[in-house]
Amino acid sequence: MRGGGLWQLGQSITRRLGGGDKKAVARRYFASEAELKKTVLYDFHVANGGKMVPFAGWSMPIQYKDSIMDSTLNCRENGSLFDVSHMCGLSLKGKDSVPFLEKLVIADVAGLAPGTGSLTVFTNEKGGAIDDSVITKVKDDHIYLVVNAGCRDKDLAHIEEHMKAFKEKGGDVSWHIHDERSLLALQGPLAAQVLQHLTKEDLSKIFFGQFRVLDINGSQCFLTRTGYTGEDGFEISVPSENAEDLAKAILEKSEGKIRLTGLGARDSLRLEAGLCLYGNDMEQHITPIEAGLTWAIGKRRRAEGEFLGADVILKQLEEGPKIRRVGFFSSGPPPRSHSEIQDEGGNNIGEVTSGGFSPCLKKNIAMGYVKSGLHKAGTKVKIIIRGKSNEGVVTKMPFVPTKYYKPS
């Protein structure tokens, strides 16, 4: 969802459906249904009350029978199961797959131990973000990564263009796009104990950011202990023909505590966790330094560079960026993407990129970019919504503490 919030879209649909304006909703949100791609779980979503909306060229559930507020709280208290099969999983293979990928991303891929991964950013020649991605070094000659649905076409074209040039110089790398697989995200405090019923592998030995190929519910899956909610959880790449059986098994083993959850709650969960949504909080003109992802640039990469836009990014590392991504609490209506941010004197200092009402904190939260020097926690600001000024204050993120499963 570019330039707007999934949370707000979900609230709008809920209000309209509640008001009986179903035909208007159908016209506005479902008009292009025939042109949209569907995941293998589409019928399963509809049968379970999923309200389907267009998202990045796909028909995806924004919510189910419960509200976005209730879904968000249930994920934090029990757990959620998301269909994220619209995202694109792919593998790079060959003895030169690591040096090839390192030309395109900021991560120290070579430094990753086999079976571990990291968030990274694909950069352009100006240091801007083409996309963010979770990458995993399966083995020294096999990288598995997942890219955003809305960026799929440009990401694949970018990788393919550079791969062609790399191979022409004798590099050994090839790729496979996992269109034969579906992707489920199981998130929340009950995720591990529920999934443990469906696999013989001891999940307590798999920590945040780690990857395994293992049997789950009778099918070979790629399991990564990661997510987009701030909670403990897993992303499970499963052969598409087994996806519905796995979804049903997870829900059954949870005895109703883990619920199917849509993109609306996923958006409020990631915002509470202070995580970027590409197209809102990160774009082609925003560098990883400005986005607060300096930590994702490996120490060796800072010394050597040799990735696209390294000169711009390393200069920002040395001198500091001119703008920075920060969090906010605010009064009044929930801030929206593109809401203007002013200092106390009424001068423009930036804009909101994501905002909404936090179901967990019961107050407005937002993130956006402000001029460096005005980014420190406690800085008072004004956020302009529908022409009216509202009090705000810069705050540290995440808004809700993360609960990733790490070695003690």
Q: At what angle do helices 6-18 and 68-77 cross, to 10 degrees?
A: 130
Amino acid at position 368, single letter: G
| Pick from 370, 398, 372: nearest CA to 382 | 370
Q: How far apart are CA 9 and CA 28, in angstroms?
A: 11
Answer whether 281's CB lies under 8 Å from 6's CB. no
Q: Within 13 Å, how many C-alpha atoms sit on residue 372's CB side?
A: 10
Token duo for residue 334: 């929930």
Residue numbers belonging to the annotated binding site for substrate:
235
Task: Provide CB contacts within 8 A for 338, sequence distance 6+.
Answer: 3, 351, 352, 353
Quote the tokens at residue 405.
Answer: 């499963």
**What does the alpha-carbon distance between residue 294 and residue 213 come to, in Å, rounded to a whole number?**
30
Which residues fall in the annotated binding site?
235
